[in-house]
Amino acid sequence: MGWNKLPAQAPARADEISNVKEETVIKVSVLYPNSAGCKFDMRYCLDKHVPMEQQNLGAACKRMAVEEGMAGGAPGAPATYVAMGHLYFDTTDAFQAAFAPHAQAILADIPNYTNTQPTIQISEVKL
């Protein structure tokens, strides 16, 4: 899957129009809690939801990632999240501009694969 080796530092991206000195990448994480009675249809998520999202968000979404919770840190402990999805954008503005017009369609599809209430976090990618 082409895992990157650790870069010494995130490269500056001079090819982008911006007033910000150093360009960043932001990551929107959707964390689905592993609550009692939770359901998560990974097949639907990968085969239907992700391609729909990809089509709606377009080129602004630089990368997507999906993971399935296996375990917690302590021996025998359950995973805190049954699944996690991540969307990468150049900036929060780019995310909002891409997401807003399709928010309703994307959010309305979530109950088709899970009954959990996901926690959303926006992060700046540092490495």
User: Measured between alpha carbons, how far is 88 from 8 in angstroms, rounded to an integer?
Assistant: 20
Write the binding mask 76 to 95 for a second copy: x where contact by CB under 8 A, - elsewhere.
Answer: ---xxx--x---x---x---
User: Measured between alpha carbons, how far is 116 from 36 in angstroms, rounded to an integer?
Assistant: 10
CA-to-CA separations, 48 to 42, 82, 110, 112, in angstroms, rounded: 10, 18, 11, 10
CA-to-CA separations, 11 to 44, 70, 71, 83, in angstroms, rounded: 36, 33, 34, 30
Piece in contact with a second copy (CB under 8 A), picked from 14-22, 65-73, 108-116: 65-73
Piece in contact with a second copy (CB under 8 A), picked from 14-22, 60-68, 108-116: 60-68
Contact status: 52 vs a second copy (CB under 8 A): no
Contact indicator for 123, 25 with CB cutoff of 8 Å: no
Residue 24 DSSP one-character state: -
As measured in angstroms, the least distance from the Cβ of 78 to a second copy is 9
Touching a second copy, residues 8-47 (CB under 8 A): 10-11, 25-27, 29, 31, 42, 46
* List of residues contacting a second copy (CB under 8 A): 1-7, 10-11, 25-27, 29, 31, 42, 46, 50, 54, 62-74, 79-81, 84, 88, 92, 119-127
